[in-house]
């Protein structure tokens, strides 16, 4: 009598399960979605940053091409192509790209922290006259009379709800004296844009 647990060839179907283990459909879908999202992050990132990320040339070309497409449908199709290219990467290549993206996040946090530190110092200058004395001791080359005028005008702007012209100029001075040597103009513009958003609120 045939064994009901055996297949047509007389082998148990479970005997080959371990040999042919494959990711489940849902797991494969999650991996595909994750790679698609990683590609989308690269497409939305600044072009010069993307060019510095180690990756195969064909993947980089697909991403850079997608950045240049403004037509919605064309961009959608290119994004699908980017996702297809991302799925050709091996685990190590994906890990390298992920580390590069993580380093961008770290840089952004650092820039935000620097922005907040400058804002706190500006507030201290407006609230406490001794803060200007401390600042001048640290940076004696600054024009103390000009700074006093700016502080006085910034206080007046706040009291009278006027546009924060002096308020922003104080920040610009603080930013210039705290500017890292290697900081790029793009990063400075980004901080100033962030400041404008803070001031406009």
Which domains are present in the chain? 23-89 (1.10.60), 110-200 (1.10.60.30)
More confident residue, 21 or 149: 149
pLDDT tens readout for residues 77-124: 998 999 899 889 888 888 888 888 888 876 667 777 888 888 999 999
Most confidently predicted of 25-34, 47-56, 145-154: 145-154
DSSP state of 181: T
pLDDT tens readout for residues 57-74: 999 999 999 989 889 899
The mean pLDDT value of the chain amounts to: 79
For 186, phi then psi, to 5°, come to: -60, -40
pLDDT of 179 above 80: no
Among residues 93, 74, 75, 78, which one has the least CA distance to residue 35? 93
Rounded Cα–Cα distance for residues 172 and 137 (Å): 19
To which residue do tokens 């690269």 refer? 42
Q: Are 63 and 80 in contact (CB under 8 A)?
A: no
Answer whether 0.75 is exceeded by the pTM. no
- What pLDDT sits at residue 198? 47
């Amino acid at each position: 009598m045939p064994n009901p647990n055996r297949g047509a060839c007389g082998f148990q179907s479970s005997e080959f399960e371990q040999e042919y283990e494959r990711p489940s459909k849902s797991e494969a879908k999650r991996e595909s979605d994750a790679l698609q999202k990683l590609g989308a992050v690269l497409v939305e990132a600044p072009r010069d940053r993307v060019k510095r990320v180690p990756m195969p040339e064909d993947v980089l070309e697909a991403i850079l091409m997608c950045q240049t497409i403004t037509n919605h449908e064309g961009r959608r199709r290119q994004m699908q192509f980017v996702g297809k290219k991302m799925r050709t990467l091996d685990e190590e290549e994906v890990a390298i790209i992920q580390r590069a993206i993580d380093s961008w996040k770290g840089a952004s946090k650092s820039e935000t922290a620097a922005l907040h530190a400058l804002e706190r110092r500006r507030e201290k200058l407006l609230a406490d006259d001794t803060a200007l004395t401390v600042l001048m001791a640290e940076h004696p080359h600054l024009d103390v009379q000009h700074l006093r005028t700016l502080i006085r005008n910034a206080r007046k702007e706040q009291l009278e709800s006027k546009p924060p012209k002096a308020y922003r100029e104080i920040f610009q001075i603080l930013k210039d004296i705290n500017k890292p040597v290697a900081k790029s103009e793009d990063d400075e513009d980004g901080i100033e844009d962030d400041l404008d958003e803070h001031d406009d609120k």
